[in-house]
Amino acid sequence: MKDIHSHLLVGIDDGSESFEESIKILKLMEKSGITDLIITPHYVENSQYNCNNKDKKELFKQLIEKKDENNININLYLGNEVFFTSNIIDLIKQGEIRTLNNTRYLLIEFPLHNIYNNTLEVIQRLVSKGVIPVLAHPERYEVFQNNPDIIKEYLRAGVLMQGNFTSLFGKYGSTPKKLLTYYLKNEWITFLGSDTHHEVKYNARKLEKMLLKITKDKYYVKDLMENNFDKVINDEDIGMVR
């Protein structure tokens, strides 16, 4: 299993609060079957969660050193989970936010309870600049819960979807679990991530069995668990979901 979404940089968002906690989580992730992980701290403009790329890079370097000291066999990469704002392109240019492993792929999130009127317009501008938006946990947003098929508007605009596989284990309740299951059946999800902040309560083998039961497509499951992650890390094309 390769995990595209986590919060283990110390003290810069609502994730890990110490290197000791991060190492403990990484050990549990390794035990659960994670081999590769992207660290994606929140970036919320005009908030306390606004660590810039220079400072993130230094914290990331320290985390890798401590991981190696503890002989943890997980490959780490750096990105951001960027709270949606109309000037995302400017934040990239200013060196404030980071794409996933310095590729074209950018992990973004929407407000949970509403959506901005200019969202699709901003997404189209991003795509026109060569940035590929990856929307974190679509199953958690009320706009999709109230109208599940509206997700197709965003897929057509070039957005790729990252589901939280912990939703399938019931972490956020029955509605996100049912919605992510529906999206997986339609193969509208391109990536999976744990969105780990403080705990690890899953198992890659159990997840694989759940996905195979949902989708009946072992090739799609392989893409979800490994192949699409590799394409992101190597900045390779994935293609739009239709």
| Long-range contacts, stretch 153-157, CB < 8 angstroms, 24+ apart | 153/120, 154/120, 154/123, 155/188, 155/240, 155/241, 155/242, 156/240, 156/242, 157/120, 157/123, 157/124, 157/127
How much is the pLDDT for 242?
60
pLDDT tens figures, 3-29? 999 999 999 999 999 999 999 999 999
How large is the average pLDDT for residues 85-100?
Answer: 94
How much is the pLDDT for 199?
86
Q: Does a structural domain hold residue 239?
A: no
Q: Does a structural domain hold residue 240?
A: no
How large is the average pLDDT for residues 186-201?
Answer: 94
Domain extent, residue 176, equals 2-233
pLDDT tens figures, 157-174? 999 999 999 999 999 999
Alpha carbon distance 98, 106 (integer Å): 7
> DSSP character for 231?
H
Q: Does a structural domain hold residue 146?
A: yes
Residues sharing a CB contact under 8 Å with residue 79, sequence separation 6 or more, in sequence order: 38, 39, 40, 98, 99, 100, 101, 106, 107
Q: Does a structural domain hold residue 181?
A: yes
What is the pTM for the complete model shown? Answer: 0.96
Q: Does a structural domain hold residue 241?
A: no
116 — pLDDT class (breaks 50, 70, 90): confident
Q: Does a structural domain hold residue 242?
A: no
The amino acid sitting at 218 is K
198 — pLDDT class (breaks 50, 70, 90): very high
How large is the average pLDDT for residues 76-95?
Answer: 95
How large is the average pLDDT for residues 218-225?
Answer: 97
Q: In what order do the strands lie in the sheet with 191-193?
A: 42-43, 81-83, 105-109, 132-136, 160-164, 191-193
Alpha carbon distance 120, 97 (integer Å): 20
Q: Does a structural domain hold residue 180?
A: yes
Alpha carbon distance 124, 143 (integer Å): 19
User: How far, in Å, are 72, 91, 134, 236, 238 from residue 69 at the CA level?
Assistant: 8, 34, 32, 32, 35
Percentage of residues in the chain having pLDDT higher than 90: 94
Residues sharing a CB contact under 8 Å with residue 206, sequence separation 6 or more, in sequence order: none
How much is the pLDDT for 115?
87
- In the chain, how many domains are there? 1
How large is the average pLDDT for residues 90-97?
Answer: 94
Whether residue 97 has pLDDT greater than 80: yes
The amino acid sitting at 40 is T
Classify 134 as helix, strand or coil: strand
- The CATH number assigned to the domain holding 229 equals 3.20.20.140
239 — pLDDT class (breaks 50, 70, 90): confident
How much is the pLDDT for 240?
64
pLDDT tens figures, 131-163? 999 999 999 999 999 999 999 999 999 999 999
Instruction: Indicate the average pLDDT of the chain.
Output: 95
Q: Does a structural domain hold residue 238?
A: no
